[in-house]
Amino acid sequence: MKTKSLLFGISGVLLASALAFTSCKKKQAFKKEDGQTSADNRTVQSENDAAVNDVNTEISNSSLLRGRTSNGASIQSVLGITATGYSVDTTGIHQGTIKINYDGTTISNRTRTGSIRLTIQNYAQGKRWKDQGCVLQVDYLSYKITRASDSKSVQFNGTQLLTNETGDGWWELLVTKTKSSIATSVTGTNLNVLFDDGKTAVYNINRRFTYTFPNNILTCTGEGIGSADGLSNLENYGTTRDGDAFTSQVSTPIVWNLTCGWWAPIQGNAEIKVDSKDFSLNCTFGVDASGNPVSVGANQCPYGWKVEWTYKNKTSKKIFGYS
């Protein structure tokens, strides 16, 4: 009996020690959290938005790919864009393919190199981008974005599919104005993103973009349409640069406009969960320098976005400025 009691006593001590160690480890993880996973996710999403904008622009500028005759106008002229930092190789246009080549010009604090190849699926069978359900394959070929202010960079390699959900496109929205809104879905698995520290993350981006043109300002609303691990409304999931599995779930659609820039959402919320952490990273976009949501006016843009995380009864936060 004494031996059994001793064994029970030792087991109880070991269990208590294990629980204390686990609790201490969780507490340390909470204290060490710096929001980097959320910052990486925001960077990848916003740079992906920028690439998709260029894709929409050049598909709309090409009457052969778009499936509409041109009146000589360009999307850049309609939006008042004078510097793009790329050229378009149309060698394969009669097979439904063009390639955007970035020349290293620094614009809006970003220097871009590499290429993005666009291919309309079933082009030989008559598919054109104006057709509802048309699928555009987007291949990222060492597409690299470097932030000029601090030399931080990300490089994309992989493939995404853009699907025209509503039919027509930016041409009808911005030039002829025969559409009040258009919607495009962006899906893709295993997009490899190389960071400047040499680490690679894997992103599975699943989003729906709805574009409008109120007061002649291009505005985009992004929603999550992916599912994984029993969660829906995921804009993204995959593995972080440290190899941890994560999900990013949109709770309130994320909105940006061309006045403030695709890198500076004016509203929206997302919740990021990382498998190795016992707390979520809750992101609020469109805040002032103190982290308070702001109402964006005609000539006013938000300072940045806020991420908060809670463990037990304690909450920490970090505010990132848009750059």
Q: What's the pLDDT tens digit per position in 157-190? A: 999 999 999 999 999 999 999 999 999 999 999 9
Q: What's the pLDDT tens digit per position in 84-109? A: 999 999 999 999 999 999 999 999 89
Q: What's the pLDDT tens digit per position in 130-159? A: 999 999 999 999 999 999 999 999 999 999
Query: Which pLDDT value is given to residue 69?
Result: 67
Q: Which of 132, 133, 51, 138 is nearest to 96 (CA)?
A: 138
Band (pLDDT 50/70/90 cuts) for residue 9 is low
H-type alpha helices, 62-211: 63-66, 75-79, 170
* C-beta separation of 135 from 157 below 8 A: no
Distance in angstroms (rounded) separating the CA atoms of residues 257 and 90 = 29
Query: Which pLDDT value is given to residue 26?
Result: 52
CA angle at 317 for the pair 237 and 291, rounded to the nearest 5°:
100
The CA-atom distances, in angstroms, between 108 and each of 136, 261, 305 are 27, 9, 19
Q: Mean pLDDT in the chain?
A: 90
Structure tokens at 316: 């920490």
